Each structure stands twice: as structure tokens, then as C-alpha cells.
Amino acid sequence: MKKISTVVPVYAHWPSLEKNIKSLKKYYSNLDWLDVHYVNDCGPEADELERRIQSSIHDLKNFHYHRNPKNLGFVKTCNRAAFELIDKKSDILLLNSDTEVTEHSIEAMQEVLYSESRIAAVSPRSNNATVWSIPMDARFAAQPQRSYAHWEKLKGQLPEKYLAPTAHGFCMLIKRTVIDKIGLFDEIYSPGYGEENDFTMRARHSGYTCAMANHAFVFHVESKSFGDAKKKALIEKNLYILTQRYPEYNGLIQEYIESTKDPTPNRSKAWHLRDKGIKALMYWHNHGTKSTLRRAYHESTIFPDAPQKIKIWTHELSSTGAPLVLLDVIKEWLAKGLDPKDIAIFYPKGALVHSNVKQSFLDLGVKVTENAAYHTHLSRGDIILLNSSAYIEPFYDDLLTKLENGTVQHLFWYVHEDSEVWVPSLREDNKNIKSRIQELIASDKITMYVPSSGSRNNWKKYANSSKNIHVMPGRVGIKIEENAARSAKDFDSINFITTGTLAPIKGQLSIVHAIDAFYHQHYLKAPRQYRDFKLSIVGLDNNPFNFYSSSTKNTARGLEAHVKLYPRISVDEVYKILRRTNFTITFSIAESFSMSTMEGMAFGHPIIRSESSGRYEQLGGNGWAVDTRKWYELVAAIEEVLNKAKTSNQKLADMSKRSLEIARQNYNQKYKIIKDIDNYLKKTNSNG
């Protein structure tokens, strides 16, 4: 086997380091093809760690100890080890001190590394390593043994590798030949964070790629080297450097996340029997009697303590479109006389939850329950409302099975996503789920509701039918009055706004770039020719791992006073900003309707609108149409809006009036799904 030198930089925290040493000793002691090098980086426990490390490895011929002359930081320690301390011809395994290897994990990584000449670096699966986690949603990050059990159950179905745009620095096996060609870590990232991403992007530019070794598993606790505040500052600083150097990085990561998924674990007959048994025992525990035990076993279902007539699943409870529309649906429903005790809302564990939104549902008297992402908790006789399509495959498998076997009679499905393209579990390659949904729609067991004609066309293609698919836009809750129209004088200056959760598909970064291009190519050359302008961006967050949000902030800095940045804020706060601004820009490549655009229109905003779904419901005499595939159209539209000679104040005022007319139609929108469920309940009650 080709020689591997494992480098473990050590800074502090003996308990996690001790586990690392024990795991490597257990599986990789006294081997000729693998060396292990512990490099003490002179942290606060340097002397004590030195004593403990040396005591732990003194009798092992392939374990070595080194100490830096002073604290160098992670990046410089790795570079020193690679070029001064270890065999200069060996491949390098960089391993965090808060990891534990498992049997054959390094061998499996090495097999992937040499499976293709273009692979530069490999990382394993883990319990806690972002998308390298298993499951990939990292729901077992703090439950390492559950993650490992899931991996053991799944690894027989996993391919040997997934090719990836980068590798994860917690455990990273690198070819020495690649290091010889492009170097190792750029010390601009010192003391740490982002260095492995920069390395892999340089490798990519040299014709290499990275890989995830699916048949290798390494436990990862968490970073012990930096405090939270220092860690956050380092990430923000280094992320800025990374994205300036490689503007394509964010897109590559997003594409990888959207295009890569693990298969669903195969369940044996024994597993299914075990599952049924557990469910039966839970029901027996709650309800008693042998007859109910028997019933629960045969239906394979868990009954909640107080079964509700209507059970609603939503993908999250955030201040975004789908949850807020659901809140509006329930308010209308309750106003029509529905008892809130007859409704239960479920959302998956780990989903985005804003406390004020969750509290809004609770204030209505509706039960709200966090549940495992793969659990449906469906009972015979339930009325099901699914308020999203963004659920994982095991959830769909259970839901569709219970529709097929009659446990659940009907699914009312409010699909807020524009098409299955944005839902990994429903994509074209998942033919099993797709064909079953098609059959259930055809047999009148699923009724689908979508927000716009464009998204209806997309889902018609998916369903291979137009049957049982209805257009039902969300309703703007702003009271629209005649005096909300803006006057000609209101457009002496333009205050643009773009709102919503920041993500690549939403296009906010493209808007900032377009404003920047207009500013430098047009405005600065002839400022008197143009109206004064500002751009407000609402929805930024402080999560340093949200590369898109960080990139938007960085680009906005060059526009200084012309850009105002807002974090994620409440709906009422957004409405205040909409009142102060006077023009909405939507440049999303994927919308099912865009409630944020309609809300801007309700405040009398003319709009610039991309070609995504909802355009035909929102654009007509009230703004400019642009194509996301032709970014220069956005720059041209902004220039035309701001050019006093091309667009008069009165024209913008007329557009404002037209926006209000369109928004008023949406204000009167009724939710067809309520009427359909009420009719279904009446029908089933009369038949019962």
C-alpha cells in the first residue's frame, strides 16, 4: 500500500484527543504503510498534553510526537508537518484531534483516492461534518452512535464515492503529488477555517476534483480550538477571502447539495416487524386492551394522545411564504367555525423555526408538534394537509403507502415549490415515488394546490395529468386602500427593495451586482441624468456558513450609502420598510408565486420581475419583465427606471396604480382547499 502520514495538530482538550489516540492505536498500530504524527501547537495545556501523548504512544513504532517552537495555528502547523516533519513522499491524512477513526476507514479513503487519477483529496462520512454527515441532513450530529448505526445499515447500498467540489478539513486524505504541484494551505487563512476549501479550489483549477468516501466513517465531535466569538470572526474574514478568489465556489456547493442524495436504507422483514411491534406497544401503552394492540399492529401506525381530524405537515415554521400562507389559511378556517382542537401541525426536527411564527399558531389554539423528519404519525380516518413538498423520501414512502392501503383516504397537498426540480426526494431519477404519486392523483386520492399557473404547468408535467391540480395563490394580508397609490412626486427618487430568504435561486446577489454595474457604467458618468436611488435588501443573516448572504454583504460594501442591509425581521417590520420604499425587484430563477413581490405591489410598488412562475399573475402594465438567463436585461431595466428622460414620474405613478389593482384581486383571494376539505368531511360523515 502507498505510504500515508497522518498528521494530527494538537492544541487543547485532552478528553477528545485521548479518544483519537485510542481509536488510531486500536486499528493502526505498528504498521509499515501508515505513520501517525501528533504535533503539539503549544496551546494552554501544552506541557500536560505532551506528557499524556508521549505516555500513550511510547511503545508504538509508527506513532510520533512533535512540538512546535511556538503556537503557529492550524494552517501553519499542517504546512510545517507536510514539508518538515513527515516523509516527503507519503500521502497526507490531515486529521482533527476531536475525531475517532473506525476500522478500515483509512483504507477505504485510500481506495477512493486512487480510484481515479483526477481525485486530489478525499473525506469520509461522519456524524458531524455538514453534508459529509450521514444522514446528509446531519440530524444525528450530536448522536454519533445513531449516525454510525445508520451508516452501517446504509453502506451496502452506497456507491464507493461521490465526487465533490471540495473536501472537509476534519479528515482529509491528500495525494502528495497534488501537494507537490500546487502546495498545501495558503497561510492567509491562518490560524484556520477556509484553508481546505481554498486548497481544493486551487486543485480544481489544476484539473482535479475531490471525493466523499462513502465506505469510510470517522466520528467527529466539534471544534475545541477556538471560542465561539473567535471562531465566528475567523470564518467571516476567511470566507470573504475565499469568495473573492473563487466567486463560483458558492454555486458549486449549492449544486452539489441539490444533486447528491443517499438512498433510503433497505428494511428487512424483521425490521418491519420490529417497527410494527414498537408502534403497537406504544399504542397499547397509551390505550390498553388487547383488541387495540391488535388493531395498532395490523395498521402499523402510532395514534397520538388526542387524535385530530386534520393533520398538517409543514417543512418549517419560519417567517417565509409557505408557513405564513398556512397561518392565513388556518385563520380563515377558524373564522368559518372550525374548532382549533381539531387541527394538529407537525414540523420536522431540525427545521428552521422562528419562535414568533410558532407562537402565532399556538395563539390560535392549534397544537404544534416537532416530529422526526421521517415519521408521519398517520392514523385511520385522518384528513391530511401537506403544506410543502420539501420532505425526505422515507416520509413520502410511508405517506404514499398509507394512501395506497387505505389507512389514509385522501391527501390535500398545498405545494409551494415551483417544481420537483427543487425537491431531491421527488426528482426525475426517483421513479418509484413519482409513479406512485401519479397513480394516486389519477385515482382521486391526492388533490394538489399550487400558487400560480406557471407552477401548475410544471406539476402537470410531473403528474402527467391536469387532473386534481388547482391554482390557489397565497393571499396578501395587507389592507389595500385607494390612497396607497404613489403620486408622481413620490418617484423623484427610487428606493428599490428585494426581500425574502437569501439563497442563490432568489437572485439577490445578481440584483446587487446589477445595481453596482449601473452605478459604475451609467450613474457616475452622468449623475444628473438619473434619479437618486437606494437598494434595501431584507433577509440577510449572520450565519458565517451562509456563503450567499455573506457574498451579498461583501458586494454591497462597494455601493456604500446606496445600499441598506436588513437581517431577517418580522412581517410587520418588513411592511414598515415596504411603506418607506417604492419599487420592488424580483430576479428569482425559481418562484411558485413570490408573495414578497405581491406585498410590494400592495404598497403601490412598480416592479421588475423575472420570468419565474407567478409572473403572469403579477406583471401587466406595472413594470419591467427581465430574463434571468440574460442578466444584462436587469441592468438595462434598472437604467431605464432611473433614467429621467426614458421614464417619467407619471409613468411610474401609473404603474403604481396598476400594481394596486392587481394586488387587490389577490387580497380577495379565497382558499379553495378549505372548501374542498369541508366538502370532503361532509361527504365522509354522510357516508359513515
pLDDT at 325 over 50: yes
- At 303, the pLDDT band (50, 70, 90 cuts) reads very low
Residue 91 pLDDT: 97
- The cell for 644 is 429621467
CA distances to 82, 197, 433, 560 from 520, in Å: 45, 32, 50, 13
**Per-residue pLDDT tens for 534-573?**
999 988 777 665 666 777 777 777 787 899 988 878 788 8
Distance CA 448, CA 450 (A): 7
Residue 222 pLDDT: 65
Most confident of 211-225, 235-249, 628-642, 653-667: 628-642
Distance CA 168, CA 185 (A): 14
Residue 290 pLDDT: 34
Distance CA 225, CA 8 (A): 13
What is the CATH topology of the domain spanning 482-667? Answer: Rossmann fold (3.40.50)
Q: Which of residues 491 and 248 earns the better pLDDT score?
A: 491
Which residue is it, cell 439577490? 508
Q: What is the pTM for the complete model shown?
A: 0.56
Residue 625 pLDDT: 97
The answer as to CATH 3.40.50.1980 being correct for domain 308-475 is no
Q: Which of residues 559 and 3 earns the better pLDDT score?
A: 3
Most confident of 70-74, 288-292, 425-429: 70-74
Residue 545 pLDDT: 59
Residue 163 sits at φ, ψ, to 5 deg, of -75, 140
- At 687, the pLDDT band (50, 70, 90 cuts) reads low
**Per-residue pLDDT tens for 614-642?**
999 999 999 999 999 999 999 999 999 99
Per DSSP, the residues of 262-293 read PPPPP--HHHHHHHHHHHHHHHHHHH-SHHHH
Task: Kindly report which listed range (38-47, 85-94, 101-110, 128-137) carries the lowest average pLDDT score.
Answer: 128-137
pLDDT at 431 over 50: yes
∠ at Cα 223 (348, 59), nearest 5°? 125
Distance CA 22, CA 87 (A): 23
- Give me the torsion for CA of 645, 650, 656, 661, rounded to 10°: -130
pLDDT at 509 over 90: no
Task: Kindly report which listed range (79-93, 169-183, 335-349) carries the lowest average pLDDT score.
Answer: 335-349
Q: Which of residues 249 and 291 earns the better pLDDT score?
A: 249
The residue-averaged pLDDT of 596-625 equals 95
Distance CA 29, CA 23 (A): 10
Distance CA 632, CA 119 (A): 37
Residue 271 pLDDT: 38
Residue 533 sits at φ, ψ, to 5 deg, of -150, 155
Task: Kindly report which listed range (280-294, 541-555, 625-639, 650-664) carries the lowest average pLDDT score.
Answer: 280-294
The residue-averaged pLDDT of 510-531 equals 94
Domain boundaries, the chain: 4-259, 267-303, 308-475, 482-667
**Per-residue pLDDT tens for 373-385?**
666 667 777 788 9
Distance CA 660, CA 605 (A): 8
The residue-averaged pLDDT of 472-481 equals 77
pLDDT at 485 over 70: yes
The residue-averaged pLDDT of 259-268 equals 69
Provide the 10 A C-beta neighbour count for residue 446: 25
Task: Kindly report which listed range (162-166, 274-278, 347-351, 664-668) carries the lowest average pLDDT score.
Answer: 274-278
Residue 533 pLDDT: 96
Q: Which of residues 277 and 610 earns the better pLDDT score?
A: 610
Residue 525 pLDDT: 95
The residue-averaged pLDDT of 501-521 equals 86
Instruction: Tell me whether domains 308-475 and 482-667 share a fold.
Output: yes
- The cell for 394 is 422515507
pLDDT at 95 over 80: yes
What is the CATH topology of the domain spanning 4-259? Answer: Spore Coat Polysaccharide Biosynthesis Protein SpsA; Chain A (3.90.550)
Question: Is 111 in contact with 4 (CB distance < 8 Å)?
Answer: no
Residue 501 pLDDT: 66
Residue 302 pLDDT: 31
| Helical packing angle, 508-521 and 547-556, nearest 10° | 20
Residue 484 pLDDT: 74
